[in-house]
Amino acid sequence: MTTPADATETAAGVRAGSLSAGAAVERALVLARGRGVELNCFSELLEEPARAGAAAVDAAIAAGRDPGPLAGVPFAAKDLFDVRGVVTRSGSRIDLDRPAAVRDAAAVERLRAAGAALVGTTVMDEYAYGFTSENTHYGPVRNPHDPERVAGGSSGGSAAAVAAGIVPLALGSDTNGSVRVPAALCGVLGLKPTYGLLSRRGMRLFSASLDHVGLFARSVRDLALVLDLLRGDRGAGAAAAAQAPGGEPIRVGVAGGHFRHGAQPEVLERVDALAARLGATGEIELPGATEARAAAMVITAAEGAQLHLDDLRTRSGEFDPMTRDRFLAGALVPASAYLSAQRFRRWFRAEAARAFEQVDVLLAPSTPFPAPRMGQREAQVDGQTVRTQPYLGVFTQPLSFIGLPVLSIPAGLVDGLPVGVQLVARPSAEHTLLELGALIEAGGHTAVAGQAR
């Protein structure tokens, strides 16, 4: 089976006239109606708008106009990004009662302006509160590598759609790991840029002080191109770094302490293999990482509950049982606990800054184990029983807690299933992550999982 084209290759074909945008989008729609339905990737397919977007690109090319750097590239967006004319559900039943969006979210708007065609919105955990995309209202997203296993969450539909080769690009959001966890479990690339780098306009929030826009792709060059587009750089910074790796040496270390315990041994072996390949200098401690994860849990619950307080008061029975109890518990957290958690962020951020005086990039597992089975509530790790769903974020939460940029890259298979490694950099150093990611990709150490069946 051939590897599906990435966005860069598709756009190049469309721009050169060897492929029509209409054909590229039609292919994605056919896959979305077939494989996408099997995997339950999509909340809503947007066939006519996608075809109209493709037709506009083909018309621009016929008229000799620039169709944009993502000409004819099909993409998907998590169902918490506003799409003009579509009701943003955020994985809920409650939000079906809200009016359709009157304007695209900033991220959707920019990708469409670059010539990309949105083929659908994707299934997620309700209000992004989860790591498995087991949505009671709309059904679970199935992992393309094993349909009896979860795709990860909360951006599971987006990750699965990219992993299955339906689209080469998808938008997600990451509050505690909701891009990096499903990227790892589905075997694709997931980028969570620095907190605040990308506009959240038109993105429904979950926990405002932690929410990030994130991206899924099958190649580093695609991530770099899209990051630049979303920032408004049009192919400047990140893409240049990804296209010309090998400049200044990048100092790499392995995140120690918290990040070396509580994972399946084979997952840590994948981190070590990559570290050896990159000549990592050794383990660098991030003191307080366990407390950082704890603080992130408290902040998430309190902010999420506050956001939905009106509905929790009047419509609690309409929430997904998978999220309802946690939102309700979040509404009962004492204010002192929330404020202590926020204060701790400042301390932990300073500790991370010290770590990045020694290295440019830290390596850490993306998840503690490969994709759990659907409905699996507990797992055994290091002789301990852990709650599967929240524990999937054990290595992602401390990093998003202080807004660091992180790239999750596929790191091979464990028990026949994909796992990922997080590349972590200091704030605003996405270019370093993408440069290193491109080097890893070029070296063939790790490969994006093929068109998983």
What are φ and ψ of residue 203, in 5° steps?
A: -100, 125
Q: How far is CA 297 from CA 337, 342, 353, 385, 413, in A?
A: 11, 11, 22, 19, 29
Q: In the set 197, 328, 386, 447, which binds other proteins (CB under 8 A)?
A: 328
Q: Does 330 bind other proteins (CB under 8 A)?
A: yes
Q: In the set 117, 170, 238, 341, which binds other proteins (CB under 8 A)?
A: 341
Nearer to other proteins, 322 or 449 (CB): 322
Question: What's the min distance (Å) between Cβ of 348 and other proteins?
Answer: 6
Question: What's the min distance (Å) between Cβ of 40 and other proteins?
Answer: 25
What is the pattern of x (binds other proteins, CB under 8 A) and - over residues 240-279?
----------------------------------------
- Give the residues across from 216 on adjacent strands: 170, 190
Q: Does residue 154 carry a catalytic annotation?
A: yes
Q: For the sheet with 361-365, list strands across it.
A: 42-45, 117-122, 74-78, 169-174, 212-217, 189-192, 406-414, 417-425, 361-365, 252-255, 283-284
Q: In the set 148, 325, 378, 382, which binds other proteins (CB under 8 A)?
A: 325
282-301 residues near other proteins, rule: CB under 8 A: 288, 290-291, 294-295, 297-298, 301
- Give the residues across from 189 on adjacent strands: 217
Is the backbone peptide bond immediately before 154 cis, with ω within 30 degrees of 0? yes
Task: Decide: 115 and 71 in contact? Cβ < 8 Å.
Answer: yes
> Could you give the angle at the alpha carbon of 204 between the alpha carbons of 128 and 409, nearest 5°?
50
Residue in 20, 90, 133, 154 annotated catalytic:
154
CA distance 9 to 3: 12
Task: Decide: 74 and 168 in contact? Cβ < 8 Å.
Answer: yes
Helices (H), 278-415: 289-307, 309-314, 321-330, 335-358, 388-391, 397-400
What is the rounded radius of gyration, in angstroms, for the C-alpha atoms of the chain?
20
CA distance 155 to 91: 10
Residue in 78, 207, 219, 400 annotated catalytic:
78
Q: Does 345 bind other proteins (CB under 8 A)?
A: yes
CA distance 50 to 62: 18
Q: Does 337 bind other proteins (CB under 8 A)?
A: yes
Q: Does 386 bind other proteins (CB under 8 A)?
A: no
Question: What's the min distance (Å) between Cβ of 420 and other proteins?
Answer: 25
* Binding-residue total with other proteins (CB under 8 A): 38
Question: What's the min distance (Å) between Cβ of 60 and other proteins?
Answer: 45
Of 24-32, 69-77, 309-317, 438-446, which part binds other proteins (CB under 8 A)? 309-317
Question: What's the min distance (Å) between Cβ of 135 and other proteins?
Answer: 18
Q: In the set 30, 244, 276, 339, which binds other proteins (CB under 8 A)?
A: 339
Q: Which residues of 98-119 are buried (b: 16+ CB within 10 A; e: fewer)?
A: eeebeebbbbbbbbbebbbbbb
Q: In the set 136, 199, 243, 342, which binds other proteins (CB under 8 A)?
A: 342
Question: What's the min distance (Å) between Cβ of 451 and other proteins?
Answer: 39
Nearer to other proteins, 29 or 341 (CB): 341
Q: In the set 55, 273, 331, 439, which binds other proteins (CB under 8 A)?
A: 331
Q: Does residue 192 carry a catalytic annotation?
A: no
User: What stretches of 137-256 adopt beta strand conformation (E)?
Assistant: 139-140, 142-143, 146-150, 169-174, 189-192, 212-217, 252-255
Q: Does 140 bind other proteins (CB under 8 A)?
A: no
Helices (H), 70-167: 106-113, 156-163
Q: Does 348 bind other proteins (CB under 8 A)?
A: yes
How many whole angstroms from its chain centre is CA 407? 9
Q: Does 374 bind other proteins (CB under 8 A)?
A: no
Question: What's the min distance (Å) between Cβ of 231 and other proteins?
Answer: 25
3 state SS of 385: strand
Indicate which residues carry an active-site annotation. 78, 154, 178
Interface residues with other proteins (CB under 8 A)? 209, 288, 290-291, 294-295, 297-298, 301, 309, 312-313, 316-317, 321, 324-326, 328-334, 336-337, 339-348, 351
